[in-house]
Chains A and B, each alone.
Chain A
Amino acid sequence: MFYCRVVGESQERLTTHTIDFPYTRTLGPVFSEFLTGMRDGKLVGIKGRDGKVICPPTEWDPETGDALGNDFVEVGPGGVVTTWAWVTEPTPKHPLDKPFAFALIQLDGADTGLMHAVDAGSIDKMSTGMRVTARWKDDRIGHITDVTFVPEAG
């Protein structure tokens, strides 16, 4: 029968294996509007059946499942942090390469939270209920990382 040792620090032979897939995704009408907005420096939500504004926008009503029209609404650029987490050691996949906060941000004019990064500098600058605002990259391509958020001045 098999005998499995737990391998310690001085493991005998570590092999490396990489998977590497370049995906190109089509966006459909709703994400196209959202990411075109990103490129143009605008945050875009969509109106749900009950009139609530959803951001990031969905193609369907989260409550009823009905298809939504093209009732897009510009939201932000400011918003309120409804919850947050302080990332001490960012991974190479994170949008910032220094400690930052992931937060759910309810953008002005929206009724749902957008998960995004807040570049606050230190954990002391973060609190639930604080206001943040969009900080746009100069070179935008229509991607969720065209924007990050920073604490609102004042």
Chain B
Amino acid sequence: MAKKTEDIAIVGYAQSPSYRQAELTEPQFLYPVISEALERAGVPRREIGFTCAGSCDYLSGQTFAFVMNLDAVGAWPPISESHVEMDGAWALYEAWVRLQHGDIDTALVFGSGKSSPGKPAEVFPLQMDPYTLTPLGADPVSLAALQARAMLDAGKITEDEMAEIAARSRKSAVNNPYAQVKGDDDPAVLLKEPYVTAPLRKHDLPPISDGASAVVLATTEKAKELTDHPVWIRGIDHRIDIHQPGMRDLTESPSTRLAGKNAGVKGKFDFAELSASFSHQEKLLCDELGLGKDVEINLSGGPLAANPVMAVGLTRFVEAARLIAEGGKKRGVAHATSGQALQQNLVAVLEAE
């Protein structure tokens, strides 16, 4: 019988606004975010047991760009730290595993990225199969469009529903000071816009964003000492599907389903923060996680309103923690994704005390 894992809590969190084009460097806009998360947690910088970051050097366009980001942490004298070339949500997972060891009681996690300097449609094909997909320039929007068409053909979504998801996200984002795309749009008007990459219109796509987010984690005992409002991670798991888009059914996401099951996604939820970077993916994720109409989805506006790549998944944890610690919500789902067309998925269940 496997040993039961310890419940870890989110005790501090912060995010930067989502910028279309930030004039600051990544460490410069990370700096206040990390400081704010630490202050909220009430943990002195030097007492953090483990630090883990998520970012992408190809996005920054500089080898070892992630090392520069440590400037924002205070890494001298040397601290115990690690980095994942993935969204900060996977850095959170590594820190969560690290805290299970029991020898440390706090961890700092952050994710950051500047998508504005490069052209995402030219940078992201570099994460694909280098023999058959990178040389085709297989870009995220085209891959998502293949998925959307497959869902439309299978009757799993309609273009009307996609526009409604986009309009609702933009409307929710009106109350989110960190969001980039917000407003009161009529889905019927959105549907009159031309296709960018059919069947996707501009509203189905995430914005290009620069930004960062950070989370402070603590073990059960430490969390109770630090705060009266710990946000408990009751379960967390991540799973991956096959890479080649033609070798899986794009209208399903077995990895989301399995990660959700392992994370304990069942019963009643108040809300979910989902990394649905394209409108149709929200429907797919809700179906796979069994989230019904009673669950409020992306109250923050989600990735359609703010999409700081490499931070956007971790920001789902920040938003979820904020809703529980400050917004009176009791139980929610946080989801992050990696790869193209929802290839890899991380799911967590977050609860109030």
From B16, B61, B138, contact of A115 by CB (8 A) = B138
CA distance A148 to B36 in the complex (A): 52
From B61, B125, B131, B137, contact of A31 by CB (8 A) = B131
- Of all chain A residues, the one with the shortest Cβ separation from B135 is A144
From B19, B31, B117, B250, contact of A83 by CB (8 A) = B250
Question: How far apart are B98's CB and chain A's nearest CB, in angstroms?
Answer: 28
Q: Is A46 an interface residue (CB 8 A)?
A: no
Residues of B within 8 A of A62 (CB): 242, 247
Of B2-10, B146-154, B160-168, B307-315, the one contacting chain A is B146-154
From A25, A88, A94, A106, contact of B137 by CB (8 A) = A94
Residues of A within 8 A of B132 (CB): 34, 56, 114-115, 144
Q: How many B residues have CB within 8 A of the partner chain?
A: 50
B145 touches A102 (CB 8 A): yes
Question: How far apart are A25's CB and chain B's nearest CB, in angstroms?
Answer: 6
A73-106 contact mask (Cβ, 8 Å, vs B): 1 or 0: 0000000001111111011111100000011111
In chain B, residues 186-219, which have Cβ atoms closer than 8 Å to a Cβ of chain A? Answer: 194-200
In chain A, residues 41-79, which have Cβ atoms closer than 8 Å to a Cβ of chain B? Answer: 54, 56, 58, 62
Q: Is B1 an interface residue (CB 8 A)?
A: no
CA distance A93 to B117 in the complex (A): 17
Question: How far apart are B198's CB and chain A's nearest CB, in angstroms?
Answer: 4
Q: Is B322 an interface residue (CB 8 A)?
A: no
Question: How far apart are A13's CB and chain B's nearest CB, in angstroms?
Answer: 10
CA distance A104 to B244 in the complex (A): 10
Q: Is B28 an interface residue (CB 8 A)?
A: yes
Question: How far apart are B6's CB and chain A's nearest CB, in angstroms?
Answer: 32
Residues of B within 8 A of A144 (CB): 131-132, 135-136
B120-154 contact mask (Cβ, 8 Å, vs A): 1 or 0: 01100100001111011111001101111110010
CA distance A6 to B18 in the complex (A): 9
Q: A84-B146, A91-B137, A145-B136 are in contact. Are A11 and B197 (CB under 8 A)?
A: no
CA distance A112 to B125 in the complex (A): 21
Is chain A's interface secondary structure helix, strand, loop, or mixed overall? mixed
- Of all chain A residues, the one with the shortest Cβ separation from B246 is A113
Q: How many A residues have CB within 8 A of the partner chain?
A: 48
Q: Is A17 an interface residue (CB 8 A)?
A: yes
Q: Is B245 an interface residue (CB 8 A)?
A: yes
B196 touches A4 (CB 8 A): no
Q: A2-B29, A85-B142, A95-B136 are in contact. Are A104 and B246 (CB under 8 A)?
A: yes
A11 touches B21 (CB 8 A): yes
B131 touches A27 (CB 8 A): yes
CA distance A54 to B24 in the complex (A): 47
CA distance A114 to B197 in the complex (A): 19
From A4, A56, A82, contact of B19 by CB (8 A) = A4
From A4, A34, A92, A115, contact of B22 by CB (8 A) = A4
Q: Is B32 an interface residue (CB 8 A)?
A: yes
Residues of B within 8 A of A125 (CB): none
Q: A92-B122, A102-B138 are in contact. Are A7 and B247 (CB under 8 A)?
A: no
CA distance A2 to B32 in the complex (A): 7
CA distance A87 to B146 in the complex (A): 11
From A19, A83, A90, A93, contact of B146 by CB (8 A) = A83
B131 touches A102 (CB 8 A): no
Residues of A within 8 A of B23 (CB): 4-7, 11
CA distance A65 to B119 in the complex (A): 35
Residues of A within 8 A of B17 (CB): 4
Residues of A within 8 A of B119 (CB): 91
Q: A2-B31, A112-B247, A113-B245 are in contact. Are A143 and B198 (CB under 8 A)?
A: no
Q: Is B20 an interface residue (CB 8 A)?
A: yes
B19 touches A86 (CB 8 A): no
16 contacts between A and B (CB under 8 A): A2-B24, A4-B23, A7-B20, A7-B23, A25-B130, A86-B197, A86-B198, A87-B197, A90-B137, A91-B121, A93-B122, A93-B125, A105-B246, A106-B246, A114-B132, A115-B245
In order of increasing CB-CB distance, the 5 nearest A-B pairs are A113-B246, A93-B137, A85-B145, A86-B198, A83-B150
